Each structure stands twice: as structure tokens, then as C-alpha cells.
Amino acid sequence: MTISAIDICRLLNGEIEGNPDVIISKAGKIEYAEPGDITFISNPLYEKYFITTKADAVIVSKDFKNTRNDITLIRVTDPYTAFITVLEKLEPVKEIEMFSISDKCVIGKNVEINGDVFIGDFVRIGNGAGIGTGTRIMHNCTIGNKVKIGSNCLIYSNVAIYDDCKLGNNIIIHSGTVIGSDGFGFLKQENGSFKKIPQTGIVVIEDEVEIGSNTSIDRATIGETRICRGAKLDNQVQIAHNVEIGEDTVVVAQVGIAGSTKIGKRCMIAGQAGIVGHLTICDDVIIGASVGVSKSITKPGVYVGYRAKPMREELKETALIKEISNLKDRIKELEKSKS
């Protein structure tokens, strides 16, 4: 679609500077944008591209210093949030599969399908499963026995959901993800071998959750592994048995969370962080990238470092380490003065 800069400005409740009639057809990255594009600046690191960008319009903060007279600015309080609103407006309408059930799928006995659904080619749905209205299950998915899936869910191709798992409404699961695989439970025997511990629980995924591709969420040993309402999991995340992820918590790629750990609400766990088992992470915690968490966290805040510490403490220790070489030189001078 196309839209004028002034209409975008009205959409954002912003202030326009420059040509209000310029026509925008798509969004672009500031360094690669072309005529007809709109872009944005929210991070000062990208201000250097302003003088060379070919975009016709740029969303900026209200105090941004304009150094050009050939470009239209839209000034807003929060450029990043505003740009997301524009993306939603400009996003091309995706081709939506019409509700239908492929004659190449296999549906078991006593499956309850409520209202219109889409079930693609080579999908297998087990006995006693339930599918809510408006849900789309794309090609090559496997839905186990007694799995319950709510309304308006989108399950992309090649997803496997094991027996008895329960999914709420408005859930998105991307390709290659496995829900309900066995937890990693083994008991070491006297002869050094390992005996498998039965994994008899389930996975429960509440409403409004999105899960990236190639993520694994293990079923509980007993009870539930639970992903609470509004949580967002990135690609290649490992969630072990009996873990609980709190509401509106974000887990970034390649994070591993060991068994029975409880993560609070509104937490952010950055890429490649690792959390050992049986811990409790309170609400409103940010864990930095590649951080190893070996103890429970009871106070909200930002935790960074090889072993998770409050950020201020970690920065202080890092600064002190940098002073070691200076201290060494001072010690040598003191030793010389004594001699």
C-alpha cells in the first residue's frame, strides 16, 4: 500500500517537518533505504546515516537536530514504537490459507474440531485431540493423542506436539519446534549406566504465547511444564522439565533453562544465558547475554557477568581488575624506595 507522510504523521500523533505530501510505499533500514521508503532513528549510533540516507521520510525524536532540507521528518516522543506502528500499517497482507481440511491429513478417533480450521497436507492428529475455531495447522505437523489446542492459533510446518499437552488461544509456534518431548531425566546406577526416569507430565502453554523455530519444551516428570500468558520464546531455546516461565517474559535465542526452575513475570533473558535447575527468578529481572545463573535471584534488576551479579557490582569489579597493572607498578616503585 501507499500512504502520504502527513497521514503517517496523523497516525502517530506526531509533528511533521518538510514535504507533507511525499508518498511512502514501504519501510527500510536507514542505511539502505530508497526513495519512497520511511525509516527511523531511535539509537544515536544510527544518526551518522542521516546525512546519506535516501529515504523520503524519517521518524525521529522531538529533539533530533535536522541537518537536511530535502527530507521529511516526523517528530514523535518514541521513534521505535512509532516505527512499529508504521510497519503494521505498511505490512503487505499475507496470503491466508482458507479454512479447509486436507484430504492428505490423518485425523484420529474422537477428535473435536470446533468451527472453521485449516489442517494442511500430511498432518497427523491423534485420538481424542481438540482443535479450536480459527486455528491453522500447517503442513507436516504431528499433533499427539489428547492434545488440546485453543482458538486462533497458528502452528507452522513441521511442529510436533506430543500427547496430552494443552495450548491456549492466539498462540504462534514456528517450524521445527517440539512441545512435550521427554525431560532429560536419568538415574545413575551402581554399574555406571543410566536408567531412564519416566516423564509422565505435560506441557501447558497459555494464551498469547509465541515460540520461535527449533525450540524444545520438555514435558514435566510429573505435573506441568508451563509457559504463562504472553511469554515470547525465540529460536533454539531449551526449556527443561517442570520449568515455569512467567507472564510477559521474553527468552532470547540459545537460552537453556534447567529443570524445575521458576522464572517470574516480565523478565528478559538475553541470548545464550544458562540457568541451572531448581532456582527461582523473581519478577522484573533482566539477565544479560551469556550469563550463567547458578543461584536464585530475589531482587529485580539487571544481572550480568560470567556468574550472574547485579550489573553495578560487576562493572565495579571489572573496573578494579583494570587497575591491577597500575597497582603492580606502584608496588614496584614502593619496593624501590624502601631499598
Is the same domain home to 192 and 298? yes
Is the same domain home to 205 and 238? yes
Is the same domain home to 202 and 268? yes
Can you give the pLDDT at residue 314? 80
Is the same domain home to 142 and 205? yes
Is the same domain home to 144 and 260? yes
> Mean pLDDT throughout 150-165?
98
The residue segments making up the domain with residue 7 are: 3-90
Report the Cα–Cα distance between both ends of the chain, in Å, rounded.
82
Domain contains 330: no
d(CA 119, CA 278): 39
User: What percent of the chain is predicted at pLDDT more than 90?
Assistant: 85
Domain contains 257: yes
Q: Could you give the C-alpha distances from 207 to 6, 29, 173, in angstroms and in order?
A: 37, 32, 12
pLDDT tens-digit readout, 40-99: 999 999 999 999 999 999 999 999 999 999 999 999 999 999 999 999 998 866 666 789
Q: Which three cell numbers stand for residue 328?
A: 603492580
d(CA 329, CA 336): 11
Is the same domain home to 74 and 117? no
Can you give the pLDDT at residue 317? 80
Can you give the pLDDT at residue 111? 97
> Mean pLDDT throughout 181-186?
95
Is the same domain home to 271 and 153? yes
Q: Which three cell numbers stand for residue 125?
A: 492428529
Domain contains 336: no
Domain contains 331: no
**Average pLDDT along the chain:** 94
Q: Could you give the C-alpha distances from 154 to 6, 131, 239, in angstroms and in order?
A: 35, 11, 21
Taking 80 as the threshold, does the pLDDT of residue 272 lie above it? yes
Q: Which three cell numbers stand for residue 264?
A: 517470574
- 36 within 8 A of 19, measured Cβ to Cβ: no
User: pTM higher than 0.85, yes or no?
Assistant: no
Q: Could you give the C-alpha distances from 13 to 19, 20, 42, 82, in angstroms and in order?
A: 17, 14, 17, 9
Is the same domain home to 142 and 272? yes
Can you give the pLDDT at residue 96? 67
Domain contains 33: yes
Burial zone of 303 (CB within 10 Å; 0-12 exposed, 13-18 middle, 19+ buried): buried
pLDDT tens-digit readout, 310-334: 888 888 887 888 888 788 878 888 8
Domain contains 43: yes
- 213 within 8 A of 235, measured Cβ to Cβ: yes
Between helices 324-338 and 311-322, what is the axis angle to 10°? Answer: 40
Q: Which residues contact residue 29 at a Cβ distance below 8 angstroms, ignoring those fewer than 6 apart?
A: 39
Is the same domain home to 163 and 293? yes
Can you give the pLDDT at residue 93? 60
Q: How many folded domains does the chain comprise?
A: 2
Domain contains 338: no
Is the same domain home to 25 and 168? no
What is the CATH number for 66?
3.40.1390.10
What is the CATH number for 272?
2.160.10.10
In single-letter form, the type of residue at position 121 comes to: D
Between 314 and 280, residue with greater pLDDT? 280
Task: Name the pairing type of β-strands 250-251 and 268-269.
Answer: parallel
Q: Could you give the C-alpha distances from 62 to 18, 50, 74, 77, in angstroms and in order?
A: 14, 15, 9, 6
Can you give the pLDDT at residue 137? 97
Cell numbers 542505511 correspond to what residue? Answer: 31
d(CA 137, CA 96): 12
Is the same domain home to 266 and 196? yes
Q: Which three cell numbers stand for residue 226?
A: 508451563
Is the same domain home to 173 and 306? yes
Name the residues annotated as catalytic.
241
